[in-house]
Amino acid sequence: MLSEPQSGYDLKRNFDQALNNFWSAELSQIYPQLKKMEASGLLKCHEEESASGPNRRVYTRSAKGRLELLEWLADGPQVGEERISYLTQVFFLNELDDKKDGLSFMQELRDYMVDRYEYLVEVDGFLRKDDPRYPNDLPDDEFFPQLTLALGLKRIKATIEWCDETIKRMKTRIGD
Amino acid sequence: MLSEPQSGYDLKRNFDQALNNFWSAELSQIYPQLKKMEASGLLKCHEEESASGPNRRVYTRSAKGRLELLEWLADGPQVGEERISYLTQVFFLNELDDKKDGLSFMQELRDYMVDRYEYLVEVDGFLRKDDPRYPNDLPDDEFFPQLTLALGLKRIKATIEWCDETIKRMKTRIGD
DNA sequence: CTATGCTATATAACTGTTTATATAGCTGGT
DNA sequence: ACCAGCTATATAAACAGTTATATAGCATAG
């Protein structure tokens, strides 16, 4: 992102597409943030006329901005806690009177994960097919975006496995 | 949580331990939240003297609170986006002049994940060993907390696999 | 006896993020 | 002609969450 000059609107689109739901941001967060970064000298801005609608405010990284980016990467991976909302729900599943309701919950979760998995496989296939010049791997501008996809696939697969094992364990407990 | 009467302090401890870093909350978030839930009739509160320090404000779920919990579960799993900070960093790794810096980044990430995996295996082993009365599975009060652990293990394993594959791909690209 | 750490609650300040709303003009369909 | 949908920016209000700070008493280690 911001490797090439972009407006807030472009950035939003790239965020949504490229990071495949591993990070998102609303325009109401992006626009003030870009202004803040411009004010502290990390970005430069120039206006462009738009064919439709208001002028585009196009941002470019400054030398200072680039330095800060390199520092951010040099600090190493940010491995803070990863929040999974539905796990807090799973925790409360033993409060249910009818144990079959817990099973339904897990089956619903599994169905969602399978749908998502199939969607990501499709996106991944599209990325890989596009360029036959590199039989061993993708060019740089596709390699790094594809890494986020590859992790997504592995993690969702692991989650589906967990759903299956949990459903099996729950069925045994119900005595079904 | 809140299956049994608890103070904000208890809740924090249980959150941290039981959800194994899949969810956390600070006391400064918990205390006002409990007051809010008491005000809207979801919780009841009574004070207890404490052996050390100020009185304990102990909360219990009300009938209304229990209903709301059941509705929350009946709505199905909350499968919102899962944010992974380090993936946004991976995305920018192709900005680095020296490709070996990208490799170091991935190796640092792998080391962290391996450490975390080994820690979770230990915790999981401790949970399973404690009760020999159930040879096939755990009692209810351990089964549900263990599910969060089981998912954590599968996901971290998947992440380590991804790190290994990525490191391999990166090495090939460098020509090492 | 002093420092550290634990139980226990509370608030202020700040940052991050989402939802809702507004404006403005262009494009394509019915 | 009208409506829906897209590009494009902007702000207000609300909500979520963290960091810092304060108070207070007890226990334990050095």
Residues of chain A neighbouring B173 (CB-CB closer than 8 A): 137, 143
B74 CB neighbours strand C below 7 A: no
pLDDT at A102: 96
Of B155 and A129, more confident: B155
Task: Classify strands B43-48 and A56-61 as parallel, antiparallel or unpaired.
Answer: unpaired
CB of A79 within 8 Å of a chain B CB? The answer is: yes
Residue A20: per-residue pLDDT: 65
Q: Hey, is B135 helix, strand or coil?
A: coil
Q: How far apart are CA B110 and CA A139, in angstroms?
A: 24
Residues in chain B where the model's pLDDT stays below 70: 1-3, 20, 129-135, 176
What is the distance in angstroms measured between the alpha-carbon CA of B52 and the sugar C1' of C4? 16
- What pLDDT shows up at residue A86? 95
Higher-confidence position of A61 and B136: A61
Given CB atoms, is A84 within the 8 Å cutoff of chain B? Answer: yes
Distances (CA, A) of B42 to A27, B63, B96, B118: 35, 8, 52, 39
Specify the pLDDT at position B130.
Answer: 61
Find all residues with CB under 8 Å of B81, minimum gap 6, and list them: A21, A22, A23, A24
Residue B166 pLDDT: 97
Is A89 close to B77, i.e. CB distance below 8 A?
yes
What would the pLDDT profile of B14-41 be if each residue is shown by its tens digit? 888 877 678 889 999 999 999 999 999 9
Instruction: Evaluate if the CB of B31 falls below 7 Å from strand C.
Output: yes
The answer to pTM > 0.85 is: yes
Are B166 and A147 in contact (CB < 8 Å)?
yes
Is residue A28 less than 8 Å (CB to CB) from chain B? no
The predicted model gives A121-125 an average pLDDT of 88
pLDDT by residue (tens digit) across A34-53?
A: 999 999 999 999 988 777 76
User: Residue A54: what pLDDT?
Assistant: 77
